[in-house]
Amino acid sequence: MKHCTVIDIGSSKISCISAGTSADGALVIHGAEQRPYPGYRLGRLPAVGPLSEALYNALSDLQEDTGLRIKNVTVGVPAPFVKTAVTTDEVRIAQRPGRITEADIALLIARGSDPEFPEDWELMHSTPFDYTVDGTTCDGSPVGLPADRLSASFCHAFLDRDLGDLISGALDSMGVSVGSFVSTGMACASFTIPFAERMKGAVLIDCGGTHCDVSAIRGNALIRTECVGIGGSHFTNDVALALRLPLSVAEDLKRRYVFGLDYGESSQLVRIPNEGIFEIGNSTLQMIIEARAEELAGELCSCLDSVEAELPSRGPVYLVGGGIAPMRGGAEFLSAKTGREIRVNVPKTSRMGSASSAPALSLAQFMLYGGAQTGVRQASGGRVFGNIKEFFTAGNKR
């Protein structure tokens, strides 16, 4: 039985999960904690004080809840702090009569060239995609195919060194080390998007508190990321300001809102602490929420055009995160406004089966068995050395 602890650095909250596998290999969540914090805005680093406090409180309560002594964690890196680069490498097939073996793929992955990047970025992991056998693209695993030459493209994901230093420093003070930094977009895509669709090219939207991360995926590789500066907190703030409500009441109204309903002249009563009960017109609430959703859809359209240019074809788009995915009808609204098929798909686990928990769950799934089935090579050496095997073949896919 395996075990891991993961931390998802969200734009408005920190999520920590302690997970393991059951006797039949299923993902089991032993404990989970979330803590809000001021977060970050796109590429701006979070403030060290609030981040450290949120990490300390979440990990302390997680240890108390599970009875575990946490010494090593995997940290998910959000898109604003990830850059990607693509290279191509080739090997000649050594075995005769010239059929590709897993050893050939391992050698190809080992030789995957690491591109040069500025000093303030460091490699997290490299992932092969688009295997080519003697010049012909291979749809699946090339193992067993007759060939003289085998090549593949590699996507290399880099971590913003300043964010790595900030998180490592905060955790070091607690006696906790970072075993791996992993792109949350890559891990989340392998958790929520079916493999056949990722092979054709797919897009993941992670809508968080202050922004949306949009990631282009090829197979198991994170090809490109873009960000949109609108998230769930914008909806909440709009409702609070327009209706002069406390944020907690506005958040509750937002989460109970349903896109696509004909509210007509209906209304609802809300209780404001220490003030009483007030009537809110549903049509007014609809106008506020859908105006912001229209703006989000417009921003996503431009972003999707950009990332989809890296894919061979336009396929379905998957939506996760706590921003709009948990709102009933939110995916359907965005589908209609963007002209894309937007889906919400979160695999069932023993706990935490919502779209808002998908990023953290995906990191646990990746570390427990996803890495061994995605062909990911983690950087060897330094702070980003992973605790999963270094080389894997694309034929071992989930």
Q: Is the pLDDT of residue 221 over 50?
A: yes
Contact 112, 181 (CB under 8 A): no
Whole-number pLDDT of residue 183:
93
pLDDT at 378: 58
| Residue 95 vs residue 198, higher pLDDT | 198
Q: Above pLDDT 90, what percent of the chain?
A: 50
Give me the domains of the chain, ranges plus CATH numbers: 81-159 (3.30.1490.110), 194-344 (3.30.420.40)
Q: Which strand (E) or helix (H) includes residue 190? A: helix 184-192
| pTM, rounded to two decimals | 0.86
pLDDT tens-place string over residues 228-261: 999 999 999 999 999 999 999 999 999 999 998 9
pLDDT in tens, 122-144: 988 888 888 899 888 887 778 88
Give me the pLDDT at residue 292, please: 96
What DSSP line would sit under 345-381, residue for residue? -----SS--SGGGHHHHHHHHIIIIIGGGTT-EE--S
Confidence class of residue 317 from pLDDT cuts 50, 70 and 90? Answer: very high
For residues 84-109, average pLDDT: 81
96 vs 99: which has the higher pLDDT: 99
- Give the range with max mean pLDDT: 58-67, 101-110, 113-122, 321-330: 58-67
Element at 329 (helix H, strand E): none
- In this prediction, residue 118 carries a pLDDT of 74
What distance in Å separates the CA atoms of residue 210 and residue 43, rounded to the nearest whole number? 12
Cα–Cα distance measured from residue 207 to residue 320, given in angstroms and rounded to the nearest whole number: 6
Q: So what's the pLDDT on residue 184?
A: 93
User: Is the pLDDT at 395 greater than 60, yes or no?
Assistant: no
Across residues 292-313, what is the average pLDDT? 93
Residue 382 has pLDDT above 80, yes or no: no
Cis peptide before 97 (omega within 30 of 0): yes
What pLDDT is stored for residue 284 in this prediction? Answer: 94
> In angstroms, rounded to a whole number, what is the distance separating the alpha carbons of residues 321 and 355?
5
What is the predicted pLDDT for the residue at 220? Answer: 85
Give the pLDDT score at 298.
Answer: 95
Whether residue 350 is predicted with pLDDT greater than 90 in this model: the reply is no
- Closest alpha carbon to 393 in 150, 191, 124: 150
Q: Where are the beta strands (DSSP E) in 248-359?
A: 267-272, 276-281, 317-320, 342-343
- For residue 387, pLDDT over 50 is answered with no
- What's the gap between Cα 49 and its chain centre? 25
